[in-house]
Structure 1
Amino acid sequence: MTTSSDPLDQPASGRGAVLSMSLCVAMLIASEFMPVSLLTPIADSLNASDGQTGQAVSISGFFAVAASLLVSTAAGRLNRKSVLLTMTGLMLLSLVMIAAAPNFIVLMIARALLGISIGGFWSLSTAVIMRLVPADRVSGSLALMFAGQATAAAFAAPVGSYLGEVIGWRGVFWALVPIVALDLLWQAVALPSLPAQESQSLGSMWRVLRRPYVSRALIAVLFTFSGAFAMFTYLRPFLETVSGVGVQMLSVMLLVLGCAGFIGTFLGGRLTNGHLMALLRYLPLAMAAATLALLGFGHVLSLVAILLAVWGAINTALPISWMGWVTQEVGDAPEAAGGLMVGAIQLAILLGATIGGALLDHVGISATFICSAILLGVAGAIVGSGRALRA
């Protein structure tokens, strides 16, 4: 008897649960990185510099790191469905606070709450997927969940940039509120009861972290995602100052980058099982090359569009590949490994946004992009042949 690897070829209850998580992922990604497409107007409205406003991305990353390491531990024996619903509720509260923020301090507090939601949801998501679907459908279901990320990457930035001119940046965040509220209700209905299988502790995370191949992988993750977000967080200033685009062309460029994410999601889901180590090594190297090429040809809009498409496809394939690594190499401790992986990714986002913002404010956009490429190159070197990342 054969079984289908299609993640949609499963009972309706399982499919609905995975799809509700996919929508939540889309909203998390849209909420986390919307400031990238609205960086300039948010900065002007709150009397802050572009570099300071970029820290709204890094503050959410800081709290996401803490939540990814602590939520599964703090949840103890709590039902994982309740924990996921709480994380989605925090995202809803955060969006309301951001939309109504009277000053930069309130914005940062709201972003901190969003970070807790991001870290808590992501740290449990891979382990939950492994419980929702049969083992042979985990990779496909992960890709389906990450399709939410690709959707957000495709439409959140360009739509946010365009709508920001029409209804203002606050209106953009208000528009996300009812979508998240509906998803919260959907999760409440679609997710089955998920009793804790075992009580997690910081000790269990430490035992996983002490595995040499795990610690090496997390170092590679730090360099990979810090390199990616040192560039991505400040893409709008680059396109405005180097490429000289206006708001309409900016939206088009961001749409090109985002739509290419669907290609990355498809390829990541297809290739992770058979070519995992090649993806982990060569994707950051290709991203570094695309970043440097943007610096060299940033004034040629046709080439910029092509390079952004390449960058966008890689950007969505990377997290699928690394979560695939968790299921393949640390499948005996998915919650602990998932928390460590999400913590490393969020810490990398924090570091990338912080370093990139400092370079942008004090040196210039070229320094930001060069730093991004260097970090990505180091990531590829750490992965190497991939043998050191295997159990």
Structure 2
Amino acid sequence: MNDYVAQASIRSTVEPATPAWMAVFSLAMGVFGLLTAEYLPASLLTPMAMDLGVSEALAGQAVTVTAVVALFAGLLVPGLTRGIDRRVVLLGFSTLMIASNLLVAFSSSLAVLLLMRILLGVALGGFWSMAAAVAMRLVPAALLPRALSIIFSGIAVGTVVAVPLGSYLGDVYGWRSAFVAAAAVGVVTLAFQLFTLPSLPPTGSARLRTVLDVLLRPGIAIGMFACVLVHTAHFALFTYIRPFLESTTGVQTQGLALMLLGFGAANFVGTLLAGWLLVRHPRGTLVLMPVLVGVAALALVLLPATLPGQALLLALWGMAFGGVPVAWSNWVARAVPDQAESAGGMVVASVQSAIAAGAAGGGVMFSVSGIGGVFLGAGVLMLLAALLIALRVHVPRNGTVGVPLHL
């Protein structure tokens, strides 16, 4: 009981009396800038590879390097910066984003380009690990779900904008211009954060050892396992969405682009909707999102394939998954309020690992049972994850400070 009181004391010392909404929007801009920069190579592989004299497979490692570095940065950066004002750290991430994009734009070889993408990985992983913890210090507890939904709406916008923006700029002005534009977004973000983020002196003692300590707390390991299952199933599905749609309905490139645009728009709506739902039903939201994705995945396989029907199911999937980052960040903030940065680092590592596991597992299923097997297997996995969350994952009520250290 003393531990529970201690956590409440920690929470009350950092919770503001009034919300700093402009600072929250500046973090959403940071999310948008980081996601846009992360996804840009996906739409520019061919011109990048031709210009640098390498294969498209090698050029694609620009995405891999960023993801791997982000995984480790999420675990290490909170501890390495534990004595620094969080405002300064966040401004540093935006500066790294600008530097990475500019240096990539002017890189003369693949080796230089990959080194510069490491900078982006550090910023990406570090930002994700701190997002929920910083949000806790910008708004009162009752408004945390809404703040998180605003911050993570940048994911949906970045997902929708990055690929078409990169493709357009690459076709018209060359692939390097897309990274210059991403750097410009970073400059605007840095200026906005500079004027809106308040001073955020460090309050915890995050270390790498702290991550293990947090993982060993009652209920945390099972929650992180459920988080991994949800993201693994999603990325198994999303990695193979194009061949699935092409093989079932024969959709052409333009139609595919419109369907993916609908997915992204629905994802944005789902992100905002999750903030409203989490205030009222935090556990129900955490369970409902994977249920809807699982149902959509199974319906895509089992129902007759028509373009309108698949577009609607894709939109349902996008809307449901839009709430997943918000819901899990809210869970971390509620379940581990005294070490939210370390717990956030675990979420980053879990998601990055799930990206690799989902793509690899989906590839195995694809080779064994075809594209339909991927969607059936991932859909069932998503429903099993929802069942695990419903039965085993403790979800603190909004307004509470989380799980006591010793039950």
Task: Give the Cα–Cα distance (whole angstroms) in 2 for the partners of residues 309 and 64 of structure 1.
Answer: 28
The counterpart of 1:135, out of the listed 117, 141, 146, is: 141
Residue 87 of structure 1 aligns to which amino acid in structure 2? Answer: F
**RMSD of Structure 2 on Structure 1 (CA):** 3.1
1:16-42 Cα shifts (integer Å, max 9, x gaps): 211111101111222223445556776
Q: What letter is aligned with 1:77?
A: G
Secondary structure at the residue paired with 1:78? Answer: coil
Decide which of 250, 255, 275 is 2:256's aligned counterpart: 250
Q: Which of 297, 306, 321 is matched with 1:315 structurally? A: 321
Residues 238-260 of structure 1, C-alpha deviations (whole Å, 9 max, x = no match):
44565544443333222111111
> How far 1:228 moved relative to its partner?
1.2
Distance 1:98 1:309, change over 3 A: farther
Offset of residue 115 of structure 1? 2.1
1:141: how far off?
1.4
Instruction: Report SS of the residue matched to 1:199.
Output: coil
Pair 1:23 & 2:23 matched: no
The whole-number CA distance in structure 1 between the counterparts of 2:367 and 2:388 is 30
How many Å separate the matches in 1 of 2:245 and 2:150?
31
Q: Which residue of 2 aligns with 1:3?
A: none
1:72 to 61, 70, 78: 78
Is residue 48 from structure 1 mapped to residue 56 from structure 2 by the alignment? yes
Identical pairs, percent: 38
How far is 1:224 from its partner? 0.9
Unaligned runs of at least 5 residues, structure 1: 1-8
**Judging changes above 3 Å, is the alpha-carbon distance between structure 1 residues 267 and 69 closer, same or farther for their aligned structure 2 residues?**
same
For 2:242 and 2:346, the matched residues in 1 are separated by 30
CA displacement, residues 321-357 of structure 1 (integer Å, 9 cap, x when unaligned): 1111122222232222222222222222233234445
User: In structure 2, how many angstroms separate the alpha carbons of the residues matched to 1:85 and 1:298?
Assistant: 50
Q: How far apart, in 2, do the equivalents of 1:299 and 1:251 lie?
A: 18
Matched, 1:343 2:349: yes
Does residue 388 of structure 2 align to residue 377 of structure 1?
no
Residue in 2 that maps onto 1:272: 278
SS at match of 1:83: helix
Distance 1:146 1:101, change over 3 A: same
Query: Aligned equivalents of 2:61 and 2:382: distance in 1?
Result: 21
Determine the structure 1 residue equivalent to 2:162: 156
Asked whether 1:217 is paired with 2:209, we answer: no
Give 2:339's aligned amino acid. A
Superposed, 1:27-106 pairs within 5 Å as 27-37=33-43, 46-49=54-57, 56-100=62-106, 105-106=111-112
SS at structure 1 position matched to 2:83: coil
Stretch of structure 1 that moved more, 153-162 or 332-341:
153-162
Q: Distance in 2 between matches of 1:141 and 1:266?
A: 10
Aligned AA for 2:255? M
Structure showing greater radius of gyration is 2
Q: 1:228 aligns with which of 227, 231, 234?
A: 234
Q: Secondary structure at the match of 1:31?
A: helix
Return the offset for 1:149. 2.0
Which residue of 1 is the match for residue 290 of structure 2?
284
Contact 1:293 1:307 (C-alpha < 8 Å) held by counterparts = yes
Cα distance between partner residues in 1 of 2:240 and 2:268: 22
Q: Deviations over 1:33-54 (max 9, x none)?
A: 34455567767874234xx766
Partner of 2:184: 178
Cα gap change, 1:311/1:301 in structure 2, threshold over 3 Å: closer, same or farther? same
**What is the total number of aligned residue pairs between the two structures?**
379
Encode CA deviations 1:212-248: one digit per residue, 9 max, x unaligned.
Answer: 3110010011111122122223434544565544443
Q: Please report the TM-score for the alignment, with normalisation by the length of structure 1.
A: 0.84
Deviation at 1:312, TM superposition (A): 1.1
Aligned partner letter, 2:56: A
Report the CA distance between 1:297 and its aligned residue: 6.3
Q: Note if contact 2:222-2:393 (Cα within 8 Å) is conserved in structure 1.
A: no
Cα shift readout 1:278-317 (whole Å, capped 9, x = no counterpart): 2222322321232233345696322222122111111210
1:184 Cα deviation from its structure 2 partner: 1.5
- 1:60-87: CA deviation from partner (whole Å, max 9, x where unpaired): 2222121111111001211111211221
Contact in 2 for aligned 1:261/1:316 (Cα 8 Å): yes
| Per-residue deviation, residues 71-125 of structure 1 (Å, max 9, x unmatched) | 1100121111121122122222332344455665555444433222111011111
CA–CA distance in 1 between the matches of 2:123 and 2:202?
A: 19
Q: 94-103 or 227-236: which moved more?
A: 94-103
8 Å CA contact retained: 1:71, 1:120: yes
Report the Cα distance in structure 2 between the residues aligned to 1:342 and 1:298, rounded to whole angstroms: 37
Q: Indicate the SS of the match to 1:385.
A: helix
- Structure 1 residues 276 and 158, CA gap change in structure 2 (3 angstroms): farther
More displaced stretch, 217-226 vs 90-99: 90-99
Name the SS of the counterpart of 2:323 in structure 1: helix
For residue 190 of structure 1, the aligned residue among 153, 173, 196 is 196
